[in-house]
Amino acid sequence: MIKVTLIGSGNLAQHLLSAFEKSTAVELVQVFSRKKESVSHLIPFDKITDNFDDLAEADVYIIAVSDDAIAEVSLQLPFKNQLVVHTSGSASMESLSDNNRKGVFYPLQTFTKGKEVDFKNIPICIESQFNDDYNLLKKVADSISDKVFSINSEQRRSLHVSAVFVNNFVNHLYKIGSDICDGHQVPFEILQPLIRETAEKIVTLSPNEAQTGPAKRNDKTTIEAHLNFLSDENHKNIYKLLTQSIQDNGKKL
C-alpha cells in the first residue's frame, strides 16, 4: 500500500479523501486540516491533525489548498527530501518549496460540495521532478481514476485556460440563457435537453463539425432579429463578439 497524506480540507481535498478511502492501493495515513471538524465526518478523528509537526511519514504528501497558499504550506512542512505534490491547474510545479521532491497531481473536474463524483472518469494530470516519483504518482492516480495523463506545467496551464472557456464561460452563457428565459416567463428547463446534447455531441464530432446556427450559416436576417430582440447591452456585445468569432473561424478554414 502506498502511504498518502492529504493536506487541506476544502472541496477538492474532501473529494480526494473519499476516493482514497475506497482505493485498495492507497493507505490514507493522515489528513491535515486547520479545523479538524471539517473532515471528521469523512475520516476517523485520530487520523486528522492540525499541527504540521505531527505529520506522520508518508510516501507522498498531497497539498490540496488554494493556489495562493501552496508555496507557504509547502514551506511549512517540517521535513526534507520527501515527495510533495500540489493539485492545482494553474500553479507551476516550481511554486513548491525546494525542501522536498516536487510533483503535481491535478484532477481536472469541477467539484461541488456534497455532490459525489465518480473519480474513475475524472482525468488526473500528473507531473514530477524525478522519474521514480512519476511512477509512484501514476500508481496513486491509477488507483482512483481510469484516465491518467502525463502533462507538463506548460500543457497544464493550457488545460487550465481551456477549462475557463469550456466550464466558467460556458456556465456564464447558461446564465445569460436563463436570464433571457426569465425575462419572458419561459421555464429554463426547456433548454436543458439542448444543453446536454450540445455537450454530448462533441464526444463524436469535433466542435468545429458540430457548429450550427445563424452565425455559422451567415444568416443576417436572424442575427439582426436576435440583436433587436436583446434588450441588455452586455448580452448584445457578447452576441456580436461570438457571432463575429464564429464567422472569422469559418473564413480561416
Q: How far is the CB of 232 from a copy of itself (least distance, A)?
A: 10
Q: Does 199 bind a copy of itself (CB under 8 A)?
A: yes
Q: Which is nearer to a copy of itself, 46 or 68 (CB)?
A: 68
Q: Does 191 bind a copy of itself (CB under 8 A)?
A: yes
Spatial separation of the C-alpha atoms in residues 119 and 18, rounded to whole Å: 10
Q: Which is nearer to a copy of itself, 93 or 238 (CB)?
A: 238
Short-list 153, 22, 51, CA closest to 31:
51
Q: Does 146 bind a copy of itself (CB under 8 A)?
A: no
Q: How far is the CB of 156 from a copy of itself (least distance, A)?
A: 8
Number of residues that bind a copy of itself (CB under 8 A): 91
Q: Does 215 bind a copy of itself (CB under 8 A)?
A: yes
Specify the DSSP class assigned to residue 39: T
48-49: strand order across its sheet: 48-49, 26-32, 2-7, 60-63, 83-86, 101-107, 124-128, 148-150
Of residues 98 through 117, those in contact with a copy of itself by CB under 8 A are 108-110, 112, 115, 117
Q: Which residues contact 213 (CB under 8 A, 6 or more apart)?
A: 246
Spatial separation of the C-alpha atoms in residues 104 and 127, rounded to whole Å: 5
Q: Which of 50, 172, 218, 224 binds a copy of itself (CB under 8 A)?
A: 172
HSE-up (13 A, CA, CB side) for residue 222: 8
Q: How far is the CB of 158 from a copy of itself (least distance, A)?
A: 4
CA distance from start to end of the chain? 52
CB-count exposure of residue 206 (10 Å: 0-12, 13-18, 19+) = exposed
Q: Does 44 bind a copy of itself (CB under 8 A)?
A: no
Select the span of 35-43, 52-60, 132-140, 239-247 touching a copy of itself (CB under 8 A): 239-247
Spatial separation of the C-alpha atoms in residues 174 and 167, rounded to whole Å: 10
Q: Which is nearer to a copy of itself, 3 or 147 (CB)?
A: 147
Q: Does 231 bind a copy of itself (CB under 8 A)?
A: no
Cell output for 32:
491535515
Helix, strand, coil shares of the chain, percent, nearest 5, are 55, 15, 30
Q: Which is nearer to a copy of itself, 135 or 162 (CB)?
A: 162
Residue bearing cell 474532501: 14
Cell output for 191:
433548454
Of residues 50 through 69, those in contact with a copy of itself by CB under 8 A are 67-68
Q: Does 222 bind a copy of itself (CB under 8 A)?
A: yes
Q: Which is nearer to a copy of itself, 35 or 175 (CB)?
A: 175
Q: How far is the CB of 19 from a copy of itself (least distance, A)?
A: 14
Q: Does 177 bind a copy of itself (CB under 8 A)?
A: yes
Q: Which of 55, 96, 125, 141 binds a copy of itself (CB under 8 A)?
A: 125
